[in-house]
Structure 1
Amino acid sequence: MADLEEETLGEVSGDEGDAAPRDNRAKILISSIAVLVVIAVAAGLTAFLGRSTKRAGVSGGFTVAAGELTYRSMVQGPDFGKLVESPIGAASTAVPTVSTVPCERSYTASGVLLCLQSEGSLMSQAYAEVYDSSLKQIKKVAIAGTPNRARLSADGRMAAWTIFVYGDSYTTPGASTRASMLDLKTGQYVDSLENFNAYVDGSLYKAVDINFWGVTYTADDNTFYATMGSNGKTWLMKGDFKARKMTALRENVECPSLSPDGTRLVFKKRVSDDIRHPWRFTVLNLATMQETPLAETRSVDDQAAWLNDSTVMYAVPHADDPGSDLYAVPADGSGAPRLLAANGMSPSVTSG
């Protein structure tokens, strides 16, 4: 992606120099015995630097040659909430590199990091923050709500995020979501997709209870997909950023995520009225509009991401604590879920 100009939108607190990379310590997570061992590493995420490196603490070292799995650490302690990365081939047992950047939701693409986080304690303020390949903060946007979803286009140009304006879940009465978009090249900012025209069955749709969430981008940096909810229904919307227009493609689609090859969407399909188990991950073929339920039968409230063209990944909450683990499952409906990385959420893949 072309170099991004340093720019700030909304409220800004502190000096941008504070966001520069600093020396930090990585922590070795061996999930099978739950032991953290402090080791010295360079600050920042090595995958963002676009070069190979070796990880201390692993017998014989580990050379990063391709992609990295980046996610939010859910390990209780000083690194809780910080962004970490692991080699994809051995993410569940590998030594994660810990960054200095805390995020509530995150997404990485082409050397760009989108990080949603709240600052302050009693009166916290949420921000959407964008970092370049050296983990220098280049944009900071004040957002009025609770961070919920984060996405970037494949080349890192287009950023989108979803927040809860009030309430704290889709199943909470009165919950309201807002989806925002930012063109990191031109600086064009859309505070809410409610400013776009939305069409259902060929007619302009108007209602007081419209909500949008779960944005995902195609490769052209203009076309996107998102969920629209209103009157107890949800629709898969196909959007045109330049035209500020969205068109409904089908009902009962939530939190879509486009495959790397652009041919399929994985989404949450509502399969039950039981608020404890409402969803099933499903893949939609955009050419045939055929749906394939995935082998993950747990009801998971997440915007799944793609590990590669044949595998999707997502966070499954722990049953006995506030944490979560990352799982992966084949995108063709075969196989079974497998543990991808313990104690993580908000996963994405960076290129090496």
Structure 2
Amino acid sequence: MTTRVRLLITALVAVLLAGVAVGYAAWSGSGEPEVVASTAVEGPRLVVLTNGRLSTVSRSDPDGPREVSEQRCDRVYRAGGTTSCLRPVGAFKAGELAVLDAGWREVRTVPLTGFPNRTRVSASGRMVAWTLFVDGHSYAANGFSTSTGVLDTKTGTLVASLEEFTSTVDGSAVTAMDRNFWGVTFAADDNRFYATMSTGGHRYLMEGDFAARTLRSVVDNVECPSLSPDGTHIAYKAAVNGDPQQGWRLSTMNMATREITPLAETRSVDDQPTWVDDRTIAYGIQRDDGVNDVWAVPADGSGTPTLLVPEANSPAPIG
């Protein structure tokens, strides 16, 4: 099946399932949080989604009052004063990427076709990336297909799909039709980035060069990477025994030594982890009733998981 046909099918499915996407805010939490003025949430904060609405909460009191905006997103991330908001699929249109400024005002939108899945912003706020499911809705499923793009907000350069880049594994070019990319994370220079590529039954951590339009393999069995603020480690999910159908284990990897540290979270986590700081990893877990919570765990493998922000997802540190 060609990419064009897959996108057309996805657009039709989006129309049929619009009621599910539109109703997300109604069922994703047990009730509306306390809404406060923007001046009430001060100091270091976390951006999260609350019932599908863009919100901020104090890092020192993550279970406390939240500043809740009218902006609605399915996935969100903020850094350097730039917010990436993947809009829910609408009834008569596909979704979109909305780029918001520091005041959460839209400065650019990019039409997208697919189901929102991952998004990231570089530390400077310049680079924005997103991943959509085009076919299937699980990384554990066979035959799933993703679309991952990158936007340079400074130059306006838009890469609709990382499949446009030249990819190599162990120095050999990869042109197989089964290539899929997801889970971008940016380095501090706004040019280098990391992402997952799957092909031939393997899932690789790829290092990308945006200017050169290239991707090269680094290691195997790394999904949804997240580079630490100091650039020394990557947090990610690793398929148990290399098989996603057995679930994923959150881990970190030292980028210099390639030493891997499984984290204390032993539940399966299907999320792109976030570094709250150099010592703490945050991630979302969905309860059996469909409600999302944000959890946190030490990045060195010690301690135990703790509930960070109840009834929320898509955490991103700011301030």
In the superposition, the TM-score normalised over structure 2's length comes to 0.87
Per the alignment, residue 310 of structure 2 pairs with 342
8 A Cα contact 1:72 1:105, kept in partner: yes
Task: Determine the structure 2 residue equivalent to 1:131.
Answer: 100
CA offsets per residue over residues 87-126 of structure 1, 9 Å max, x none?
00110x21111111011000001211100012522x3411
Given the superposition, is the C-alpha separation of residues 72 and 299 from structure 1 closer, same or farther in structure 2, using an over 3 Å criterion?
Answer: same
Q: Which residue of 2 aligns with 1:263?
A: 232
SS of 1:118's partner is coil
1:313 corresponding residue in structure 2 = 282
CA contact (8 A) 1:325 1:344 kept: yes
Match for 1:285 among 232, 246, 254? Answer: 254
After superposition, the Cα gap between the structure-2 partners of 1:38 and 1:256, relative to the gap in structure 1 and judged at 3 Å, is closer
Assess, with a 3 A threshold, how the Cα gap between structure 1 residues 275 and 185 changes in structure 2: closer, same or farther.
Answer: closer
- 5+ residue gaps, structure 2, are 1-28
8 Å Cα contact 1:305-1:313 kept in structure 2: yes
> In the superposition, relative to structure 1, how do residues 136 and 249 fare at CA in structure 2: closer, same or farther (>3 Å)?
same
Matched, 1:329 2:306: no
User: Which structure has the larger Rg over C-alpha atoms?
Assistant: 1
- Whether 2:61 is the aligned partner of 1:90: answer yes
Classify 1:38/1:308 alpha carbon distance in 2 versus 1 (closer, same or farther; 3 Å).
closer
Aligned-partner SS, 1:194: helix
Q: Choose from 29, 34, 40 the match for 1:54.
A: 40
Paired letter, 2:82: V
- Give 1:1-352 correspondences, 5 Å limit: 36=32, 41-42=36-37, 46=38, 53-54=39-40, 64-65=42-43, 67-73=44-50, 80-91=51-62, 93-121=63-91, 123-272=92-241, 277-319=246-288, 321-351=289-319
Same amino acid, percent of matched pairs: 45
Please report how far the alpha carbon of residue 37 of structure 1 lies from its aligned counterpart in structure 2 after TM superposition. Answer: 6.9
What secondary structure does 2:76 align onto?
strand
Asked if the contact 2:89/2:115 (under 8 Å) is kept, the reply is: no
User: Over residues 241-291 of structure 1, what are the superposed CA-to-partner deviations in whole Å (9 max), with x where a residue is unaligned?
Assistant: 000011101111100000011110001111146655421011000011100
RMSD: 1.7
Deviations 1:283-308 (A, max 9, x none): 00001110000000001100000111
Contact 1:144 1:165 in 2 (8 A): yes
Return closer, same or farther for 1:346/1:36 CA change in 2, 3 Å cut-off.
Answer: closer
User: Which has the larger share of helix?
Assistant: 2
Give the conservation status (yes or no) of the 8 Å contact 1:325–1:345: yes
Question: Structure 1 residues 146, 35: closer, same or farther in 2, change over 3 A?
Answer: closer
Question: Secondary structure at the residue paired with 2:96?
Answer: strand
Contact 1:118 1:124 in 2 (8 A): no
Total equivalences in the alignment: 291
Flag structure 1 segments of 5+ consecutive residues without an equivalent: 1-30, 47-52, 56-63, 74-79
Structure 1 contact 216–258 (Cα < 8 Å) conserved: yes
Say if 1:104 and 1:116, in contact at 8 Å, map to a contact too: yes
Deviation digits for residues 26-60 of structure 1 (CA, Å, limit 9, x no counterpart): xxxxx9xx775765x44xxx4xxxxxx335xxxxx
Distance 2:174 2:271 in 1: 27
1:132 and 1:264, CA in 2 relative to 1: closer, same or farther beyond 3 A?
same
Q: Aligned equivalents of 1:314 and 1:345: distance in 2?
A: 8
